[in-house]
Amino acid sequence: MPYKQKVSTCLWFNKEAEDAAKFYVSLFDNSRITAVSRYGRDMPMPEGTVLTVLFELAGTEFMALNGGPHFTFSEASSMVVQCDTQAEIDRLWDALLAGGGREQQCGWLKDRYGLPWQIVPARLRDMMQDKDRARTDRVMAAVMTMVKLDIAKLEAAYKGA
């Protein structure tokens, strides 16, 4: 079966790949687990342990790998979610923090599995690409004061209010 995307992301977990994938697909429409493979005999983990989980988030393909404790996530790579409403930001923020996640500055958080996320207003990209430097400076200054991003406050900063 041909892949829908030529390039996709592999997320390395210690042993939580299946739980994480199930959690992530529960958060987004158009999301599903598409395949699960398991370790066989004479492999680094016990036979039958989940090796990989292929899944889609909002139509984008990912792979979760149970590779052991050798590597962990860092903010050098993060999941960015473009949200259309404050209600969507609030829902995803709360869900991703549930069960042990940690808030960070400027719309960033780490979920219970340690995966970094940026939960941002979709409109932020347009605001930050405005040719009016005063507008973009005000928006960035507002972002720097926030933990969870607030669309109304960002719009007010953009408008100079």
List pLDDT tens digits, range 58-69.
Answer: 999 999 999 999
Which pLDDT belongs to residue 73?
Answer: 97
**Which whole number is the average pLDDT over 104-128?**
98
User: What percent of the chain has pLDDT above 90?
Assistant: 96
Q: How many CB atoms are closer than 10 A to CB 66?
A: 21
Distance CA 130, CA 146 (A): 21
Q: What is the pTM of this model?
A: 0.93
Q: Looking at the predicted structure, is the pLDDT value of residue 1 above 80?
A: no
Structural domains in the chain?
9-66 (3.30.720.100), 79-159 (3.10.180.10)
Contact criterion met (CB below 8 Å) for 61 and 40:
no
Q: Please write the tens of the pLDDT for every residue from 122-161.
A: 999 999 999 999 999 999 999 999 999 999 999 999 999 8
Q: Please say whether the dihedral angle defined by the alpha carbons of residues 74, 26, 84 and 102, taken in this order, is positive or negative.
A: negative
Which pLDDT belongs to residue 5?
Answer: 86
User: What percent of the chain has pLDDT above 70?
Assistant: 98
β-pair type (9-13, 60-66): parallel
Short-list 37, 97, 96, 33, CA closest to 67: 37
